[in-house]
Amino acid sequence: MLINLSELFSCQGKVKTYTQSLEMEQFQGPSSLYEIAEKEPVVLNITHTGNKKMMVEGTAKLTLLMPCDRCLEPVRVPFVLSIEEELDMSQSEEERVEALDEQPYISGYFLDVDRLVQTELMVNLPMKVLCREDCKGICSQCGRNLNHGKCDCDNQPKDPRMAAIQDIYKKFNMQST
C-alpha cells in the first residue's frame, strides 16, 4: 500500500495518522519464504519536520510461520515492530545511495508500507527458531521427528574410532540420571 507524502508538505509540523492494511501474504527472508499467518493494520504517524523531512513512527503486528531449526515443524513467531524512520524527501535516489541511506520503501513522494515492514522484519528476524526449548530434532538417518517418538535406526557410530566417544557419552548420561 502506498502513502502519498506530498500532502504533508503544505505546512511544517503537520502530522497525519495513517492506518494501512498489509497487502503481502508472504515474507522473503534471507534464506527462505515465510507465510504470514496473522497480520494487523499498520498504524503510522508521519510528521513533516521541515525542509521536506518526515519523521515516521508507528507499529506493525504480524505473525510468521517459520520452520523449527531442529525438527522443521512450523512455528508461529509473533512480531511487534516499532518503526522509527527519518525521511529526507529533498534527496534524490542517487544522493541516498551515495550517503548509504538506501530506503527501498521510498519511490518519489510515495512511501510503500509493505516494503517498510519488510525492511523492519529483516532487521528483527530471530537467529534461531525452536518449537520448544527441549526440541529433539530429527533423526539424521531416517528423518523422523524425534519429538514424536524414537526411531528404529541403528545409532551406533559408522566409524569405529567414534565408538570410544560413544561409550564415554553413554557413561556420562548414566551418571547424570
Q: Which residues span the domain enclosing 90?
A: 2-124
30 and 90 inside one domain: yes
pTM (2 d.p.): 0.76
34 and 94 inside one domain: yes
Show Cβ contacts of residue 117 under 8 Å, excluding neighbours closer than 6 positions: 22, 24, 42, 60, 62, 81, 83
Q: Report the pLDDT value the prediction gives residue 174, as an integer from 0 to 100.
A: 66
89 and 170 inside one domain: no
Q: Which helix (H) or strand (E) holds 76?
A: strand 74-88
Q: Would you give the DSSP letter of residue 146?
A: G
Q: Report the pLDDT value the prediction gives residue 101, as an integer from 0 to 100.
A: 59
16 and 91 inside one domain: yes
120 and 77 inside one domain: yes
10 and 42 inside one domain: yes
99 and 159 inside one domain: no
Specify the 3-state DSSP secondary structure of 84. strand
Would you list the DSSP string of 37-66? Answer: EEE--EEEEEEEEETTEEEEEEEEEEEEEE
Question: Mind listing the pLDDT tens digit of every residue in the chain (177 residues)?
Answer: 888 888 887 777 888 999 999 999 999 988 899 999 999 999 999 998 888 888 999 999 999 999 999 999 999 999 999 999 888 877 666 766 666 556 778 887 888 999 999 999 999 999 999 999 999 999 888 889 999 988 888 766 567 777 777 778 777 776 655
Q: In what order do the strands lie in the sheet with 106-107?
A: 2-4, 110-112, 106-107
Asked if residue 141 is part of any domain, the answer here is no
Asked if residue 129 is part of any domain, the answer here is no
Q: Would you give the DSSP letter of residue 88?
A: E
Q: How many domains does the chain have?
A: 2
Asked if residue 158 is part of any domain, the answer here is yes
Q: What is the dihedral of CA 5, 101, 62, 131, to 10 degrees?
A: 180
Asked if residue 140 is part of any domain, the answer here is no
Asked if residue 137 is part of any domain, the answer here is no
Show Cβ contacts of residue 13 under 8 Å, excluding neighbours closer than 6 positions: 47, 48, 49, 50
